[in-house]
Chain A
Amino acid sequence: MGRFQKPAEGTWTEHYPELGTGPISFADSISPEFYQLEREAIFKRAWLYAGRMEQLPRNGTYFTKILPGLRTSIVVTRDLDGRVRAFHNVCRHRGNKLLWEGTPKGESCGKARQFVCKYHGWRYGLDGACTYVHQANEFFDLQQDALGLAPIHFDTWAGFIFVNLAEQPPQSLRDYLGPMVGALDGYPFDRMTERYSFRAENDSNWKVFIDAFQEYYHVPPLHTHQLGPTPEAQNPEYEFEAAHYQIDGPHRMVSTSGTYKQAWPAEHLYPAEALTRSGNTGPWDAPDFGADLPGVNPSGISRWGIDNFQVFPNLEILIYERNWFVTYRYWPTSHNTHVFEGDLHFVPATKASERLAREYAALTFKEYGLQDAGTLDGTQMGLEQQAFDEFPLNDQEVLVRHFHKTVGDWVEAYARQQGGESKR
């Protein structure tokens, strides 16, 4: 008997009948041809999270962002008049990458009055206009005012900056995000300006890692140590159940109930948890955001812990009851490799004890995240072995089911539109 009320149909999966309940194929995760289709059908058409508005704190600031696997680097600027813009990070003259630090694979950010190409010294304003051509009189019929940086489609929502690589995005960002994700508008994301950033190159298809972070069925067996040092806590057969699942278009979310470790007796805590008053669910002493937080805990569960919003295709926003949030991004770089980016966002610490509480939460993310990432190459190897054609998914894995169906639907729609046959 479950601990949480399921929908009238009896299960979360059957509440969304288009998903079916049968075993599913992961052929979409082992095919080089399917990877190429995904790039065109999904990553060159969907809205992609590129950064936060807090990365542009003043007029005349900018940041670059490489979109791994998409052969694209963008520069997002807040120009001297305060307008936010996004461009391809490429010089109009001979195509040299315009802004980088260290090597052309490095990102750049900061304050600037203009951008100067390192190659031939062409200059651009933060509004993208070309302001200087070295030895302009040597060129032929050069029209400098037509030589600006190439703009890229972008839009912002709740302080999140998204870009779209389509020639013409089929939907506005707000229409794309839909009512479930859109309801988070007004959540105080902008107060959490202190970031801990992580990056990993993993030997698996991008979807394999997303799958690991959109179900909690794996938590008791894989993260046996997470609940605490005692034998009662470390029970790999503990039956984890999420409180609420919800699907809206290509996006999906799951809410879990909280562990509220701040109320636990000391013998059930790791000493460093008690010392820092922090851990898996963040610093226990949370900033006060008031009671009415838009969009979070949409089903109103009483001991709410985490909301996990999976924004299609590759953004995950985790919102914690202790008032901090995390973003994950997964960028496919081949059919069996991807780049993972994780950012933990906190209200800035003002003293050492607060800094250490955030540090311990950031450590905890990495320690257990390594267990998740540690499964990836093994899963990829297992899938590529093709010992099985289909795999059973349970009701706690309903979001995995929805995700692969959505990916397949987008690829099929694209293939239909191209008039060709999908090679799925």
Chain B
Amino acid sequence: MTEALLPDEFADLEPWAPTWCLATEPERWELRLQSSMEDLQAFYDAVFPRAEAAIAWCDRYPLDDMPRDAERLLQLLHSLLMVSYAVEVWKQPEVINGGSARIDRIGEPRP
């Protein structure tokens, strides 16, 4: 058994953590575009019902002094939002009518 990435209270989300705990938007964006809708839907269905509790858990810590496991949980929530656009809005990984456009996020706050 490898060491848990997420807080014990969110052990049920542990299977998603190695793939979706990503620190930056470019990583999350690329993974969304490379994923099938089945994979995105499965991730969304598993994480969304736990999101409110996960946000409350992360809110117990100041952003600049989070334990590593809570920081990974926050990364997972960032990925949930990234995936939500594919699942809730577009019903496909790509933006509808995005054509050949590309907009890169080159700066963002962390974590």
Q: Does B90 contact A225, Cβ atoms closer than 8 Å?
A: yes
Q: How far is the CB of B80 from chain A (nearest CB, A)?
A: 8
> Are B107 and A363 in contact, with the CB atoms below 8 A?
no
Q: Does B63 contact A (CB under 8 A)?
A: yes
Q: Check B88–A229 contact: CB distance below 8 A.
A: yes
Asked if B101 and A225 make an inter-chain contact with CB atoms under 8 angstroms apart, the answer reads no
Any A CB within 8 A of the CB of B103 = yes
Which of B6-14, B15-23, B35-43, B91-99 contacts the other chain? B91-99
A370 to B32, CA, bound (A): 15
B4 / chain A contacts, CB cutoff of 8 Å:
none
Instruction: Write the nearest CB–CB distance from B46 to chain A, whole angstroms.
Output: 14
User: Which chain A residues numbered 351 to 374 have a C-beta less than 8 Å away from chain B?
Assistant: 351-353, 355-356, 358-360, 362-363, 366-367, 369-371, 373-374
For residue A417, CB closer than 8 A to chain B, the reply is no
Which residues between 187 and 218 of chain A lie within 8 Å of chain B, taking CB atoms?
194-203
Most A CB atoms within 10 A — which of B52, B99, B111? Answer: B99
Min CB gap A353→B, angstroms: 5
* B59 partner residues in chain A, CB cutoff 8 A: 351-353
Q: Is the CB of A363 within 8 A of B108?
A: no
- A374 and B106 within 8 A (CB): no
- A286 on the interface (CB 8 Å rule)? no
Shortest Cβ distance from B83 into A: residue: A272
Contact B105 A225 (CB under 8 A): no
Partner of A225, one of B77, B96, B107: B96
A residues 320-361 touching B (CB-CB < 8 Å): 340, 342-343, 348-353, 355-356, 358-360
With a CB–CB cut-off of 8 A, which chain A residues contact B58? 351-353
- Supposing A225-B90, A225-B96, A352-B55 touch, asked if A199 and B106 sit within 8 A by C-beta, the answer is yes
Q: Is A276 part of the binding interface, using a Cβ–Cβ cutoff of 8 Å?
A: yes
| Nearest chain B residue, comparing its CB with the CB of A352 | B58
A233 CB, nearest partner CB in chain B, Å: 12
Partner of B55, one of A198, A342, A353, A370: A353
B69 to chain A, nearest CB (A): 13
Q: Which of B54-110 contact A (CB under 8 A)?
A: 55, 58-59, 61-63, 66, 74, 77-78, 80-82, 84-85, 88-90, 95-109
Between-chain CB contacts (< 8 Å), 26 pairs: A195-B108, A197-B106, A198-B105, A199-B104, A200-B102, A270-B88, A271-B88, A272-B84, A272-B85, A272-B88, A276-B81, A348-B109, A350-B62, A351-B58, A352-B61, A356-B78, A362-B25, A363-B85, A367-B95, A373-B98, A373-B101, A374-B100, A376-B99, A376-B101, A377-B99, A377-B101
